[in-house]
Structures are given as structure tokens and as C-alpha cells.
Structure 1
Amino acid sequence: MAPTTAQISCVRLGYAWPDGTRLFDDLDFTAGPGRTGLVGLNGSGKSTLLRLLAGRLTPTSGSVRVSGELGYLPQNITLDTEQRVDRVLGIEKARAALHAIESGDVAEEHFAAVGDDWDVEERTRATLDGLGLAGVDLDRTVGRLSGGQTVLLSLAALLLRRPDVLLLDEPTNNLDRRAREHLHAAVAGWSGVLVVVSHDRELLERVDQIADLREGRITWYGGTLSEYETALAVEQEAAERTVRTAEADVRRQKRELIEANEKLARRAGQGRREAERGGAPKILLGARKRRAQESAGRHRGLHEERLAGARERLAEAESAVRDDDEIRVDLPHTAVPARRRVLDLADVELRGGVRATLEVLGPERIALTGGNGAGKTTLLDTVAGELAPVSGEARVQVPMRYLPQRLDLLDGSASIAENVRRLAPGASPQHIRAQLARFLFRKDRPDQLVGTLSGGERFRASLAALMLAEPAPQLLMLDEPTNNLDLASVRQLTSALHSYRGALLVVSHDVPFLRGLGVTRWLALDGELTEIEPL
């Protein structure tokens, strides 16, 4: 059990990028014992905040304080492939000393290396078992582990240190289903201070509170992700009602200002006509005119002040409404007739020895699952023609597009619109811009260079380029599309794919996402391709 005094906090934290762009100003954040899910849009600064809390970045102002030992698991983990597992776990010296003592060498330095940790190997085995790494040999090298095993091994190294505060940045990225379940269990059983950045819905259902990072500020919500989304929906409904009320007030104030100006204009006209008719001394007429002008000025100023106040209230109300729009696009040319043959794999042998037989007919939505290293990406690369099969043939019978994990489809030095035009050369610039607006790239955004986009924006631009391509793709293949997407981007992706009318082949470990797509067939790859029950 971690001590209840453990805490991590930042006070008036400020951070700016090297080019001077401010990310945080006077940000306050405190997390005590319990599990905190840190959520926010891509580019809001979640990973940067974790790095500041972990001491990997230096704030430009303010302070970070940690009570207790801190452990940090970054999003991208790189380990020396030649290192042995026990060294990565930090037990190499204690383990070697223990073996030396057991073999009869009673040198004092061995006892110093072991200290009180006489059960180091048993404790290590228990930790590895709990993370699904029971079969990992402590003497093997890291290079023989899969990417998912490397993530879990790095987490095991942190847990063995028994930190009081644990920071995890997208820990389930690239983990297969079984590995995710082990990590979920580790998070659910954590008793210290935990802050986790994740888009994994199942993981975020195991936290105690949600910290929502938006526009450099944290808003706290008690409970799990589902409870956060419920509370947020209530807030947004209230905010939208406030906007409608404020819009009505602005319209009313505009109308009253117009009516006041018309009334004043009528009075002024009446005064001129009286002056033209004569009958009153000029000094009296001048005094009346001055009083009328002063009264008109006060009257107009009052209405203008009221209108300005109404506009300020509207702007404030609009700022509380989130602009996390959904993608809404109609793609009729992607439609595939129900019995149209889309894809044939007849006893194809992939690189790595995996065999696959698959027939896809019509607009099927197929989820492809399997453990890390099972060959899922190899299968997609083979269907896409990027890898040649060892034997057999992959026959794609319709126009096909493929979005790999590496997101290298687009030219970073060209604009979003130029990239789309490259895949749809027959489309007019006006049509491309109209379609990109439906993918939430509005106004001048299509002219933005792809290289300047955030990860979520780049994914959305890549998806738009694929789905708007000519000829329209009737088979769309996606490899781990939700990796590194925030929750809003996952919702946007799901809504876009609901508009797609062709056949889908999606590799993902994100089961809630797959369920949201309306998957019609579930396949697993484990030496061979087999159909399984829905997850």
C-alpha cells in the first residue's frame, strides 16, 4: 500500500514551446491517492503535462511537487534490444548477488546488493504473472519480446520499484486484447496515486475521477468515463440553452436599437419641420435642439450598451459549448451490392508462416483481432499489395484503400486540399472544400500544411483523402485506427465510418470501438484465420 500522504501537484504552472507558443498559463493540478483519468482533445497538452509532472520537461513558470517516489511510463518506449530482462526490471545486481550467496560466496558486497530483498525473484515472478508475462525468461534479451510485451515489461519495472505515484501515458496503445486485460487489472488494483492519459474506454471505466484538460485548464468530474460523459452531456445541454437565450437577447437588443434610432429620426424630422415653419424664437429652437440631441445620444448610448452586453453574454455562453462536431458525409459511390465479391484469399501463406483463407462479399464489416505479432498488419499489407505472399494470391475485386498505422499516406509539405486533390484529380476545388468541411476542415483549414497538423487532425485528413478518393473505395482497410486518437476523434471516426457504404476490414484491439462500428463478422489470427464469436 502506498502511503496516504502521497500526492503530485503543480501550482501556477506555465509552459511554452521553444517558438514561444504558450501551452499552459497558471495551471493548477493536484492528484492524491486514487486513479485519475486525464482526458482532452489531441493537442491539448496531456502528454506534455505528464512529462512536466514527471520532471522530463522544465516548466517556464510555476512549480511541480511530488510527495513520494514517482514512476512514469511514456507513450513511446524504446529499450535496448540487447539488454537482458532482469536488467530492464532493475533486479540484475540483486539477483546476481543472491545467486552468488546461494552458491556459497559470502562476500559482504553480495549481502549489501541484496539488502532486505531476499524474495526479489519471487516478487518479480508474481509481478510478471500479474501482467501476463509468466513465460518471460529473466535471462532472455529484450529483442525477443513483442512490442506489447515491452510495454508490460516497462510497467513491471515500475511496479517492482513500488512507486507512490504512477504516471501512465496511453499505456494500452499497441497492446493486444489479453495484454490490455492484464493492464486493466493492474490499474484497477492500484492503491497509490495514479494519473493515466488514455483513450481506452475500458481502462477509463476503472478510474475514480476524470480530469478534463481543455484550453489550458483542468475541470474535475467524479467517477468513471461513463459518469463523466453523462455529466458533460447535462452541462452541454444547459450551455446550449444559455446560448439560445443569449441569441434571443441579442436579436431583441438589435431590434430595440433600430426602433430607438427610427424614433429619434422621426423626432429630428419633426424638429426641422417646426423650424422651417417658424413661430418660435431661434434661441428657444436651439435650446430644444440641444436637449433633443443630448437625450437622443443618451438613449442611443443606452441601447448600444445593452446590445454590447448582450453580445458579451452570447460570446461567454458560446465559449461553454464544445465544438466537438461529428463528421457527417454522404458517400453513395462507396456502396457495394449485397452479393458483390470484394476480396478473395484462397489458402494464402503470409510471411511468418501464417495461413489465411477469406472471402468477403458485399458491404461486410469485418473486425480482425489477434495477439501482438500474430500477423494482422502483415495480412493487410499483403491484401494491399505492399507485401507479396509466400504462396497463393490475394485478389481484390473492387477499388480499395488502406490506412496503415504509420499514417504516411499524405505529403506533409502540401496542404490538406492538395493531398485530397492528388487522390481525386477529377474533383473541382469547390467540391473538395465542401467535402472537407464535412470532415471538420472549414474556412481556411483546407489550406493548412499537413505537416503542421496534430496527430488526430492528420488522421482525420488521411481518412478524408481515402474516402473521397477516385474511384470511390469499396473496400477500406484500417490498421489500429484509434491509436493516439482522443475520445472526440474516436467518436468522429465512428460517425464517418457509419457513412461509409462499402466493405470494411479493421484491425483493432479497441473492442468498444469495433462494437460501435456495427461489425458483422469477427475474425481472429493465430497461425491461421478463423471466425470467432463477437467480443
Structure 2
Amino acid sequence: MSSPSVTLSALGFAWPDGTPVFDGLDVVLGPGHVGLVGTNGAGKSTLLRLIAGALHPLRGSVTVPGRIGYLRQDLGLATGLRVDQVLGIADVRKALHRIESGAGDESDFEIVGTAWDIEERAVALLGRLGLHYLANDVIQLDRRLDTLSGGETVLLGLVAELLREPDVLLLDEPTNNLDQLARERLYEVVGQFTGTVVTVSHDRELLDRVGTVAELRDGAIRLFGGNLTDYLRIVDAEQEAARAAVRDARGDVRRQARELAEARVKLDRRQRYGRKMAEQKREPKIVMGARKRAAQVSAGKLRNNHLGKLEDARDGLTEAQEKVRDDREIRIDLPGTRLHPGQDVIDLEQVRLVNGPVVTLRISGPERIALTGRNGVGKTTLLQQIRATGPKVPWRLLPQRLDIFDERRSVFENVAAAAPHAEAERIRAQLARFLFRGNDADVPAGVLSGGERLRAALAVLLLAEPAPKLLLLDEPTNNLDLPSLSHLTEALASFEGALVVVSHDRHFLDDIGVTRRLVLTADGLTET
């Protein structure tokens, strides 16, 4: 049986304030594995929510045959839940335990239905995704979500969706916060899913495993056969051709403008000569009349020929320019924070982290360190320990959960609080480089989307006073679109201070030019 397809017909959606998102969107996604790409703010997560039924279209329809599984971006925010509640099996477990103890009634049998093996299935899936400590004992299913790392929470959410045995699986940034081994397990489990998968991600390795790329742009979707590498190759070739067409069109405009100017000069000369002859009456009337008629014909040709060609050339330039992409991308100017070689930055000597490992870490000068390790081993805890111990230079921390805001205050107000001596005009000018232009900077932090929160957090971090000489970054690439990821990479590559970056994005770490790679294990730090 072939995989089902998601069909969107004449889909229309706008936010309550009237901001349009989709107007007449038509597309069929699937069968198979589809990567949904587009810039931050294009509407990728909104589209997944519409498909999942979490939002309702104003017009048109969404048709999905069978059951839907939907892994959201924000699962980690529901920290008060237990593991079995996240998995959606809490009520069935309670009914099973009542039946097993002899205290069950008819309603318990109705709750269980055919799910007598639900705990065993849950444990098996947890084990496949590497959550062995949860899989080894069903008692662990009673643990609270806030005892898990961000990566473990993502995997737990995936298990919850797979337990529902969906026909269509929607994944919104599924590899955020996952270590490399966990990513590989997720790749394998998702790759074995036989239904339709629609994935929103910036993970290049994951997107290179899809069979179709769906590009969401300007409220429309264009489908590309192949994976991310194929898609980028096609787009790059199209953009090179578009830029060449713009160059040709500009040349045509210049040529037509030059020919128009030359024609006007000739016409002016003829008209001046004709007026001179008429004033001096040096030519017969019949000749002057013929000359006047010829001048009128020439003027008409000028209007209809050269002016028309120039207008056509300008139209051609406009059409060519519209095919050149001008995506909004963050522009980051990191402050001048040069560190001298040998300057002390961090000095941790045999410090025991709260979760067990004993670490020694010394950083001097403009070193850039990649910190990796299994989910839950304590990478975030180590960054917190560095902060608590006190680096010897000005520093800033970008936390994984991006919880650095006063949620009730605007983006502008949050940045102003971190840079109290900066003029309002300068803050707004800098925020514009993070794509918070005009009224966008006055939106409360609490209503920002995932990608917007990261951009706002980067703005607070990098515009702060004093300028940081050490950046502690916990999974900084989460939720960034590919163009913005490229600019963040370029900015960090040129940063002259010290970096400690927790990330499992191998491409990103290579591109920012890390000088040391450290792996955190239960036994401490190991350099690789």
C-alpha cells in the first residue's frame, strides 16, 4: 500500500490581527518523506499546525487520510508533565494497574481496549531511540519532564507520536538539542517510517535523507525532486542565471537609454536647422513643409520606437530582478572584543558538576571550543558552572531554552535593559539587523515564535554592555533558517573573543573554525 498524501486545496489563513499567511495555497505533500524549507517567518510551523488540526483555515481545506502524528517545537515548555503523560498512556497505565491489582471495573477494560501491551511498546520504542534508562524500568515512566534534557524531551515526544501509529508524521525541528548518536537513531527510526513524513528542519543531514523538498516562499509551495543538496544545487543554478539576466537587462536599459539620447540629439539638430531655415526663409515653402512633416514623423518614431524599447527594457529588468531572491537574513556585527593570546578566560580545577562528572577546564586567549557529549550527560550544567564560577572576562550565555527574557516586555525593552547606556535609535538600528524592524521590535517577547526568540536572544546577548569577550552558546543553531545560519556562522567565525559552543551540528562546528573539541562523559572532559 502506498503512503498517504497531504492535500491542501485553496487554503487560506490569517492571524487574528488580520496578518495574512496563506491565500489560496494548493499543494500535495507526499507520499514519502518531504522536507519543508523556507526562511524564518515564511509559515512552516503554521502550516504544520494547520495540517495537524491545531489551527483551522479561514478558507479551503486540508485533507489527510488516516491518523496524524505531530511533534511540536515547544514540547520542552510543558515541564510539569510526567513521562507517561507526554507519551499519552497515563490513563491506560492506571487502568491496567487497577485491573492487575483486581480493583478494575468495566470502565477500565474500555479504557485499555486493545492496548494491553502499551507499556512494553513504549519501553521498546524508548530503547530504540536510546532512552535506555527510561526503557529499563516502567517505573521511570512516572518521572517528570523537567528532569530530562532538551534532547531527551524531543526523543520522548517522538516516541509519543509513534505510539499513536500515525499514517502521516509531522516533525517540527526534530533534531534540536540532540547529540550525534541520538540524531543517528532518530534518522534510522524516521527513515523506517512507512507513511508520509513532512519535516521542518535546518538539519542538513536529516534533509539530505528526504525524497522531496517543498519550498515555502511568499505563501506558495514549490516542490523539488531530491534531497536538500539537490534543491540547493537547483536554486543556486537558477539564481546564477537570474543574476546574469539582471546584468543583461541592465545593459539593455543602458543601451536603449543611450540610443534614445542619441535619437533626441539628432531630432533636436534637425528641428533647430528647420527653425533656422524658416526664420531666414532660405528654403521654398514646399521644402520647409516637407522638412516639418519629416520632423514630426521622426518625433513620432522617437516616441513609438526608442521610448517603447526603453520601457520594454525597464520592464525586462524589473522581471529579471523579481527572480533574484532577496531573503531577509540577520546581519550580525559582533563587538570588537579581541582577546590576547594567553589571556586567562576560564580556570576550573577539579570541579564536580551536580550530576556527577568532575571537570578541569582552562581556556586562554581567543580559543573556540566545541563541547559535545551524550544527551543528559551535563553539557548545559557545565556551562552553568562556568557562569557560576565566574569567567575572568566579560561574558554572555545563550541558554538552550532561551529563557533570558522578561516575557512581558518587548524585544526593544529587553535589549535596552541589557544595554542601559545605549541610545534608543542605536538599539533600534541594531535590532533591524536582527530583522526586528519598526513595530516588530515592540512585540512582547512572550509571543515570539521559536526562530524569533533565538534572534531576539542573540540581540540581547550581542548588544549587551559591556561587550562580551566570552560567548557561552548552548545549541545556538536551533530554529535558524539556512540563510540566517550562514550569517551566524560567518559572524562567529570572525569573532575575536573566546567561544564555548554546545552543538551537535558538525557542519556548523567545522565552519566556525573550532580550535578544540571536548567530549563530556560521566568521567569528565576528554579532548578529541
Match of 2:276 in 1: 273
Match of 1:73 in 2: 71
Tell which deviates more after alignment, 121-130 or 35-44: 121-130
- Aligned with 1:37: secondary structure? strand
Match of 2:43 in 1: 45
Q: CA deviation at 1:461?
A: 6.5
Q: Check conservation: 2:267, 2:298, Cα contact below 8 A.
A: no
Match of 1:6 in 2: 4
2:489 equivalent to 1:500: no
| Structure 1 pair 195–503 and aligned structure 2 pair: CA distance change class (3 A) | same
Match of 2:305 in 1: 302
Q: What amino acid sits opposite 2:238 in the alignment?
A: E
Q: Check conservation: 2:3, 2:195, Cα contact below 8 A.
A: no
| Structure 1 pair 321–358 and aligned structure 2 pair: CA distance change class (3 A) | same
| Structure 1 pair 118–327 and aligned structure 2 pair: CA distance change class (3 A) | closer
Alpha-carbon separation, structure 2, partners of 1:118 and 1:236:
56
Q: 1:437-463: CA deviations, max 9, x gaps? A: 9x587xxx7766534587656655764
Alpha-carbon separation, structure 1, partners of 2:474 and 2:198:
28
- Aligned with 1:322: secondary structure? coil
- Aligned with 2:144: secondary structure? helix
Alignment length (residue pairs):
516
| Structure 1 pair 529–325 and aligned structure 2 pair: CA distance change class (3 A) | farther
Where in structure 1 are there 5+ consecutive unaligned residues? none
Which of the numbers 458, 473, 480 marks the counterpart of 1:478? 473
Q: CA deviation at 1:49?
A: 0.7
Q: Check conservation: 2:187, 2:206, Cα contact below 8 A.
A: yes
| Structure 1 pair 305–420 and aligned structure 2 pair: CA distance change class (3 A) | farther
Aligned runs of 1:231-246 on 2, under 5 Å? 231-246=234-249
Alpha-carbon separation, structure 2, partners of 1:28 and 1:70:
20
Match of 1:488 in 2: 483
Q: What amino acid sits opposite 2:472 in the alignment?
A: M
2:202 equivalent to 1:199: yes
Alpha-carbon separation, structure 1, partners of 2:419 and 2:270:
60
Which of the numbers 23, 26, 29 marks the counterpart of 1:25? 23
Q: Check conservation: 2:152, 2:376, Cα contact below 8 A.
A: no
Match of 2:508 in 1: 513
Tell which deviates more after alignment, 16-25 or 341-350: 341-350
Q: What amino acid sits opposite 1:488 in the alignment?
A: P
Where in structure 2 are there 5+ consecutive unaligned residues? none
| Structure 1 pair 265–407 and aligned structure 2 pair: CA distance change class (3 A) | farther
Which of the numbers 201, 207, 211 marks the counterpart of 1:208? 211
- Aligned with 2:174: secondary structure? coil
Q: Check conservation: 2:412, 2:428, Cα contact below 8 A.
A: no
Which of the numbers 154, 157, 160 marks the counterpart of 2:160? 157
Q: What amino acid sits opposite 2:32 in the alignment?
A: G
Alpha-carbon separation, structure 1, partners of 2:64 and 2:461:
46
Tell which deviates more after alignment, 414-423 or 398-407: 414-423
Q: Check conservation: 1:326, 1:495, Cα contact below 8 A.
A: no
Match of 2:441 in 1: 450
Q: What amino acid sits opposite 2:74 in the alignment?
A: N
Q: What amino acid sits opposite 1:339 in the alignment?
A: G
Q: Percent identity?
A: 53
Q: What amino acid sits opposite 1:131 in the alignment?
A: L
Match of 2:132 in 1: 134
- Aligned with 2:132: secondary structure? coil
Q: 1:163-216: CA deviations, max 9, x gaps? A: 111111112223344433332222111110110111122221221111111111
Tell which deviates more after alignment, 517-526 or 406-415: 406-415
Q: Check conservation: 2:333, 2:491, Cα contact below 8 A.
A: no
Alpha-carbon separation, structure 2, partners of 1:142 and 1:301:
80
Tell which deviates more after alignment, 330-339 or 519-528: 330-339
Alpha-carbon separation, structure 1, partners of 2:105 and 2:481:
54
Tell which deviates more after alignment, 222-231 or 455-464: 455-464
2:364 equivalent to 1:361: yes
Aligned runs of 1:80-91 on 2, under 5 Å? 85-91=83-89
Match of 2:144 in 1: 143
Which of the numbers 311, 316, 319 marks the counterpart of 2:319? 316
Alpha-carbon separation, structure 1, partners of 2:488 and 2:56:
35
Which of the numbers 197, 205, 230 marks the counterpart of 2:233? 230
Which of the numbers 220, 224, 246 marks the counterpart of 2:223? 220
- Aligned with 2:302: secondary structure? helix
Q: Check conservation: 2:36, 2:215, Cα contact below 8 A.
A: yes
Q: What amino acid sits opposite 1:264 in the alignment?
A: L
Alpha-carbon separation, structure 2, partners of 1:401 and 1:170:
25
Q: What amino acid sits opposite 1:487 in the alignment?
A: L
Tell which deviates more after alignment, 36-45 or 5-14: 5-14
Q: CA deviation at 1:86?
A: 4.0
Alpha-carbon separation, structure 2, partners of 1:342 and 1:54:
48
Alpha-carbon separation, structure 1, partners of 2:91 and 2:415:
57
Q: Check conservation: 2:95, 2:112, Cα contact below 8 A.
A: yes
| Structure 1 pair 118–529 and aligned structure 2 pair: CA distance change class (3 A) | closer
Tell which deviates more after alignment, 246-255 or 323-332: 323-332
| Structure 1 pair 527–214 and aligned structure 2 pair: CA distance change class (3 A) | same
Q: 1:85-116: CA deviations, max 9, x gaps? A: 44543445555666666677897666655554
| Structure 1 pair 354–4 and aligned structure 2 pair: CA distance change class (3 A) | same
| Structure 1 pair 103–327 and aligned structure 2 pair: CA distance change class (3 A) | closer
Q: Check conservation: 1:416, 1:446, Cα contact below 8 A.
A: no
Alpha-carbon separation, structure 2, partners of 1:308 and 1:233:
30
Tell which deviates more after alignment, 178-187 or 459-468: 459-468
Match of 1:55 in 2: 53
* Aligned Cα root-mean-square deviation (Å): 3.7
Q: 1:298-328: CA deviations, max 9, x gaps? A: 3233222222222222222222222358888
Alpha-carbon separation, structure 2, partners of 1:508 and 1:164:
32
Q: What amino acid sits opposite 1:273 in the alignment?
A: K
Which of the numbers 379, 383, 398 marks the counterpart of 1:380? 383
Tell which deviates more after alignment, 373-382 or 305-314: 373-382
Q: 1:361-383: CA deviations, max 9, x gaps? A: 22211012234444433433443
| Structure 1 pair 238–419 and aligned structure 2 pair: CA distance change class (3 A) | farther
Q: Check conservation: 2:9, 2:25, Cα contact below 8 A.
A: yes
Tell which deviates more after alignment, 96-105 or 371-380: 96-105
Alpha-carbon separation, structure 2, partners of 1:106 and 1:364:
62
Tell which deviates more after alignment, 129-138 or 187-196: 129-138
Alpha-carbon separation, structure 1, partners of 2:9 and 2:213:
19
Q: Check conservation: 2:256, 2:306, Cα contact below 8 A.
A: yes
Alpha-carbon separation, structure 1, partners of 2:11 and 2:197:
20
Alpha-carbon separation, structure 2, partners of 1:65 and 1:532:
51
Q: Check conservation: 1:423, 1:466, Cα contact below 8 A.
A: no
Alpha-carbon separation, structure 2, partners of 1:206 and 1:135:
29
Alpha-carbon separation, structure 2, partners of 1:526 and 1:479:
17
Q: Check conservation: 1:54, 1:72, Cα contact below 8 A.
A: yes
